[in-house]
Amino acid sequence: GSFNVGRHLWAGARTAPFKGSVDEVAVWQRALPDGEVADEARSLINESYAGAELVANWAPETASGATVTDTTSGYGRSLALTGGAAVVDGEIVFDGVDDSATTAGPLVDDTGSFTTTTLVALDGAKLAAKAVGYKGQVLGQRTADGSAWGFWYELTGKDVVVDEETYEDRTVPVGKWHFGRLGADGKFSSVVSDEVAALDGLVRLTGVHDAQSGEISLYLGRNRNGAELAFTAVLGSGDFAIGKGFTSGAWSHYLPARIAEVRVWAGAMASSEQIDNSVGD
């Protein structure tokens, strides 16, 4: 009889229709060894490139009022700006108090492979008013008890420097980037940036979750930061959020920043070369 996708034959009748989408069906006349199964799951094209499908792409220039639309990926999700977040000069501006942007999530299977990138500029003056130890989320997927994954900023200290224009002392926040999860206990499971997070200028952050290796990695620009980290994925639920994070049963971790772009792919990009060519600037 026929080979069927999305339905079942039982007692001469077609039953059990599958509600959803199915892609990349393949059948072999042999048993695949573990290594080939893993390579097939990663959709490897070669050692440097793996299949990755764009599932979300938000650029502030597509904004209309308090909505930023995705006109590129084909999935058509829109971001809702709340709390006073607004698009100014082609960037979404967040005050770090109650501003955010959200869409119904999850965007991808959070236990599967995915890649995400953003352009973010921290507001140095507003961060200087935060207490050391403050944690703000750039973007991420929530789950029942915290974050499934996301980009985070952690304020680790403050320096006092002489302002080059006024010759007066001013406080400069010092912190690091994280890619991973912040649990309800306030502890990170994340890759931490090698470099101190730059202030006030746009920074390219890219994160990769490779489900086949069980690891996550963080890139600043095209440069990998930190070592790959073993990561136990948590299935997300609820909103995907920008400018705030969910922990201990409530939204908090509001981040004062400007966001110029957010993109998410299903699939783990295989190398810095692929990230450089696919993400670009």
Domain ranges of the chain: 51-278
| Gyration radius (Cα) of the chain, Å | 21
pLDDT tens digit string along 148-200? 999 999 999 999 887 777 777 788 999 999 999 998 888 899 999 998 999 99
Domain range 51-278, CATH architecture: Sandwich (2.60)
**pLDDT digit string, tens, across residues 210-241:** 998 999 999 999 899 988 899 998 999 999 99
Instruction: Tell me what pLDDT residue 116 has.
Output: 98
Q: What is the pTM of this model?
A: 0.89
Average confidence score pLDDT of the chain:
92
What are the tokens at 99? 């501003």
Cβ-in-10-Å burial (0-12, 13-18, 19+) of 238 comes to middle
What is the pLDDT at residue 23?
83
End-to-end CA separation in angstroms for the chain: 51
pLDDT of residue 165: 73
